[in-house]
Amino acid sequence: MKFVDEAYIDIAAGDGGNGCASFRHEKYKEFGGPDGGDGGRGGHVFAVADSNLNTLIDYRYARRHEARRGQHGMGSDRFGAAGDDITLKMPVGTVLSDAETGEVLCELMTPGEQVMIAKGGDGGFGNLRFKSSINRAPRQKTPGWPGEKKSLKLELKVLADVGLLGMPNAGKSTFIAAVSNARPKIADYPFTTLHPNLGVVRVGPEQSFVVADIPGLIEGASEGAGLGHQFLRHLQRTRLLLHIVDIAPFDEGVDPVAQARAIVAELKKYDKALYEKPRWLVLNKLDMVPAEQREARVKDFVRRLRWKGPVFEISALTREGCELLVQAIYRHVRAEQEAAAPQEELDPRFTER
């Protein structure tokens, strides 16, 4: 299935039905009085988060979504029926914003979350509503109210615990394939990854986390160069960033330290909050470095980069060092989840005095 993470749609809630001006006409009932009912409410438009969806492709081709209008009121005290609501299923992590103003209307963060995005118009009043002791034959009625109409921008930000950063061909797809159930396309040319890949990493029984692999970044990505800039927003909800670096580039003229600095610079230009997220350095493709040279090369890389954070040495191809990295990631993600979880307030009657 083609991955689509941005779409524009037009939605329209149903208009309310008109009220009815009617009088009771029945044999031997000369003054039956008013009996015009109210119009029905127009249908609402809802958005619901569906965990079974992972792309907005359904809305790339179906751009217009309208709810039914309410039924008009009728005589004999009959009120119009409400219009049918419509529910739009969207992936978890979808951000809905006004296409004209850019104002964010809502974010669907939890599976099953439902939000009303367009309210149906109220039905009009029939003349039954206007009768009184001094107005026994009212002929007033009101039309139904129009439903809300909006142009929306849908933007998907995938929900993942860990995001992978790196240059093209740094080994991100190989890593996610080695530690998770994801099977991304892997090849020896740049920009093999064309869209984000999600993988669930199983650490143990009921112990797992989600990894997101995005297309490789290049210098100038924050201004729109390359492919990765289109998907940098997918890293904004991650708890941890893994900066994967090819420690043994095929081209001897390429400096891995300069590439690593360029990635960090693009991250800072794109979003300061993303730059300040916890970030670990992962030196990949150690199987391409002779065993006696590994320690010296790693120390030289860390010294030149002036890196002060955690450093992991792995080979995604042979899976050397991957298990140690996965265990460390899970401990970090678990600690972050526990810190973010709301604390339950204990009933003071059951607390120790």
Q: Which of 190, 197, 238 is nearest to 218 (CA)?
A: 190
**What's the average model confidence in pLDDT over 79-98?**
93
pLDDT band at 285 (very low <50, low <70, confident <90, very high): confident
**With 80 as the cut, is the pLDDT of residue 206 above it?**
no
Residue 88 has pLDDT above 80, yes or no: yes
Write out pLDDT tens, residues 154-194.
Answer: 988 887 888 888 888 778 888 888 888 767 667 665 655 56
CA 69 to CA 14: how far, in whole Å?
4
Kindly state the percentage of the chain with pLDDT values over 90. 29
271 vs 3, more confident: 271
Is the pLDDT higher at 51 or at 98? 98
CA distances from 261 to 43, 93, 137, 257, 307 (A): 54, 30, 82, 6, 10
- Assign 1 a pLDDT band (cuts: 50, 70, 90): very low
Q: Render pLDDT for 215-268 as a digit per residue (tens, 0 to 9).
A: 766 655 555 555 555 667 778 888 898 889 888 877 777 788 888 888 888 888
E-assigned strands of the chain?
Answer: 6-12, 45-50, 64-66, 86-91, 94-98, 104-107, 114-118, 149-156, 162-165, 197-204, 207-213, 240-246, 279-284, 311-313
Q: Which of 239, 258, 158, 148 is nearest to 198 (CA)?
A: 158
Reported confidence tier of residue 344, pLDDT bands at 50, 70, 90: low
Of the two residues 316 and 181, the one the predictor is more confident about is 316
Task: Select the more confidently predicted residue: 320 or 197.
Answer: 320
> Is the pLDDT at 331 greater than 70, yes or no?
yes
24 within 8 A of 137, measured Cβ to Cβ: no
Q: Is the pLDDT of residue 15 over 80?
A: yes
Mean pLDDT for 6-17 is: 94
The C-alpha atoms of residue 111 and residue 91 are separated, in whole angstroms, by 8
Range from 23-37, 63-77, 209-223, 243-257 that averages highest in pLDDT: 63-77
- Mean pLDDT for the stretch of residues 62-79: 93
Partners of 211 in the beta sheet?
162, 199
pLDDT mean across residues, the chain: 84
Find which of 1-10, 238-247, 266-275 is predicted with most confidence, using mean pLDDT: 238-247
Output the pTM of the full model: 0.73
Tell me what the mean pLDDT of segment 18-22 comes to: 93
